[in-house]
Structure 1
Amino acid sequence: MPVSSDDVKNASGLTSSEKQIIQSIKELYTCKPTDSTYEMYTETAVFHDPIGIAEGVKSIRAQFNGLAKLFPRAEIPKLRVLENPPSVPKSTLLIDQDVSYYRNPQGEPIKTINSLLTIETNDQHKVTRHTEEWNHRRETSAEDGFMGMLNEGRKKFTANFTGMFVSQAPPEQKNES
């Protein structure tokens, strides 16, 4: 049986589709998304972080395009792809990263956040779920009772509200349109 280019691994064990997803993650978190950055997601993908739950690629675009509006510069001083424990499917990427955010592009970072990204993909190597946990701490969910359910409702509201005010065009492409 012929091997597809997505099945060929590099020296680190990553497939070409995984390398592309990691490149897109870097573009998102350094506040430099382009239209092609969002091609890694399915139309119904979900992005869940401590602030919001964005459902669908349009809502995800709004979250990261909004992030780029808040921070003109961000850097990733540390990014490690972690080895999946046996309980995590091979179609899931685990990424440990530090992201430094800058309000003044020439100044010092105002905040550096460590996070664990859990990137779940489908058989077409598209991201179906992108979860970010700050400091590797799981947030409450609806499964955690009434307060968890309220917290999830707030996160969905936050993502929807952001989507009402943030353009679908990536920040650097706005002047080109």
Structure 2
Amino acid sequence: MSTSTADVPPSITSFETIGIKNKRVNEAPGVKLSPDHKLLVGSVLDLFEGNPTLKHLSLWSQDATFADPITVASGYKKFAAQWYGLPALFNPIQIQSHLVTSTGNPIQMELSNKYTLKGIGTAQIINSVVHIDVGQNGKIERVEDRWNDRLPNGMISDAFRKLNAQTVPMFVTIPKDEEEDLKLKNSRDGSS
């Protein structure tokens, strides 16, 4: 993880210092995010669009969790592998729409995302409700991507989701420093 932003709270970072592309965060009527929370939501939108960087992940607690219907990834190596694996499988990934519907904790957002399978070109739109839990340190503690506002539950689905979180890091490269991260980002941007 980048040492320059690893311990910096979101309140002294900005869209520019993190390199967030999704600067326009849509809020439902009556919903007003704080600047820090807007930064977190913009960074999560970038991740969902297949634009992970070490700076984006510096906004996450080291022991945070990412959960969706196919994985429960707790701890930096596991959740980072999920985000870096996304652009390895899908290109392009295009946000169709998003709307922050609640500023509580968790922050709640409706998200429609179009994923196109690399090499095959098959596209799928997934509509989900995303929950972003923020810790007292201002960093992301948990992100849940609830497809059609659901997460599976049960012993078998939980076992499969945890197995996925264990195996993905074996196949996905997580950059060790800013230089590796930049090379990876440039290769992604060049292949678009």
TM above 0.5, yes or no, is yes
CA–CA distance in 2 between the matches of 1:154 and 1:171?
Answer: 29
Query: What residue number does 1:110 align with?
Result: 123
Picking from 29, 35, 42, the partner of 2:48 is 29
Corresponding position of 1:98: 112
Runs of 4+ in 1 over 3 A off after TM superposition: 170-173
2:58 aligned counterpart, secondary structure: helix
Change (3 A) 1:31 1:175: closer
Equivalent residues in 2 for 1:5-24, closer than 5 Å: 6=11, 13-24=32-43
Q: 1:125 maps to which residue? A: 138
Q: How many residues align?
A: 157
Paired residues of 2:31 and 2:100 also in contact (CA < 8 A): no
Query: Offset of 1:16 from its aligned partner?
Result: 1.5
| Distance in 2, Cα, partners of 1:36 & 1:42 | 12
Is the radius of gyration larger for structure 1 or structure 2? 1
Alignment of 1:1-177 (within 5 A): 6=11, 13-83=32-102, 90-103=104-117, 110-140=123-153, 148-169=154-175, 173-174=183-184
User: One-letter code of the match for 2:160?
Assistant: R
* Partner SS, residue 117 of structure 1: strand
Counterpart Cα distance in 2 of 1:109 and 1:139: 25
Counterpart Cα distance in 1 of 2:174 and 2:49? 17
1:123-166 CA-partner distances (Å, limit 9, x unpaired) = 111111111110112321xxxxxxx1221111111111001110
CA distance change for structure 1 residues 44 and 104 in 2, over 3 Å: closer, same or farther?
A: closer
User: Is the CA contact 2:54–2:181 (under 8 Å) kept in the aligned structure 1?
Assistant: no
TM-score (norm 1): 0.78
Deviation at 1:57, TM superposition (A): 1.8
| Identity across matched positions, percent | 25
What's the TM-score once normalised by structure 2's chain length?
Answer: 0.73
Gaps of 5+ in 1: 85-89, 141-147
Q: Is the 8 A contact 1:115 1:136 kept in 2?
A: yes
